[in-house]
Amino acid sequence: MENEINQTITIKGYVELNKYRYLYFVIMFTAYILILCSNSTIVGLIWVNKNLHEPMYVFIAALLINSLLYSTVVYPKLLIDLLSTKQVISYSACLFQWFAYYSLAGSEFFLLAVMAYDRYVSISNPLQYPVIMRKTNLVVFLFLAWLLPACQISVPTSMNANKRLCRFSLMGIICNSTVYKLHCIRSVVLNIYGLASLVNLVLFPLLFIIFTYVRVLIVSYRSSREVRTKAAETCVPHLIVLINFSCLSLFDVLLLRVDNDLPAPVFFVMTLQMFLYHPLFNPIIYGLKMREIYKHVKKLLVNFL
């Protein structure tokens, strides 16, 4: 087992990109700086301004922090590889990246589910909202949103550490679902557990979100124009982020099946979807679509310029 853990894995997703690696480095470095600055700015504004210390904005800040963590798992290694003529990673580091990648992706769905519940309570039962969404419950929701996916993903991570490797090259630029192709034997138990994890971390949160927003839609339709306006202003950005992340997550599911059929540049672009567009997309949506956040962003830009 120790030999397998210390085994070096060659990352093949850069093979046809090496002659342009400095250009890709500049692009990815710029994207990483934009992700850090945009997400941190929104989080900082929510932290500093007391009128944004409400559950909805706290959850938005948590979602953006999750994007920061998600990007930091990928970008430093990606940038190092783009400057290297040979891209390698130890199997233990690969498993850690795999664990962080999927646990944070699971946390994204859980946070979006909590945000949907927050909007549901706010619009459907506003009198009980301060009681249900009090500070203690807020902390519990956030804690579970990060803890539950991490615990669930830690099981296959520990099991994968004991797997014998027959391949020592990985198609891609990060350690994602393609890690399973390194193993000599596909584990039936791991496949079943992976399917169960997909249901728990993705399907159940999605069904819950759909249920809550259908309820919000019904309540809004039966209520006044003011309630409908409030629902649209606060729910639409969450729905856009959910749809965007769900569509990008589909790429990760497809990668395991198509990696041998695609040219490296196409595969490189497909792999970038999850950690390039989404972390940049979130702060733009919340910065422009959430009125209170937009006011503070606009004020900050005016003062800066």
Confidence of residue 18 (pLDDT cuts 50, 70, 90): low
Element (H, E) at 171: none
pLDDT in tens, 260-279: 556 666 666 666 766 777 88
Q: What is the DSSP letter of 223?
A: S
Order of strands across the sheet that contains 169-170:
88-90, 8-11, 169-170
pLDDT at 132 over 70: yes
Q: Is the pTM of this model over 0.95?
A: no
The secondary structure of the chain in percent helix, strand, coil, rounded to multiples of 5, reads: 80, 5, 15
Q: What is the pLDDT of residues 40-52, one digit of tens each?
A: 999 999 999 988 8
**Contact at 8 Å (CB) between 13 and 31?**
no
Cβ neighbors of 230 (< 8 A, separation 6 or more) are 123
Average pLDDT, the chain: 82
* Diameter of the chain measured on Cα atoms: 66
* Spatial contact of 280 and 71, defined as CB atoms under 8 Å apart: no
Instruction: Check: CB of residue 45 under 8 Å from CB of residue 289.
Output: no
Q: SS3 for 90?
A: strand
Give the pLDDT of residue 34: 93
Strands (E), the chain: 8-11, 88-90, 169-170
| Predicted local distance difference test score (pLDDT) of residue 265 | 62
CA 24/CA 135 separation, integer angstroms: 44
Q: Say yes or no: domain 2-304 is CATH 1.10.220.70.
A: no
Two tokens at 221?
A: 């339709």
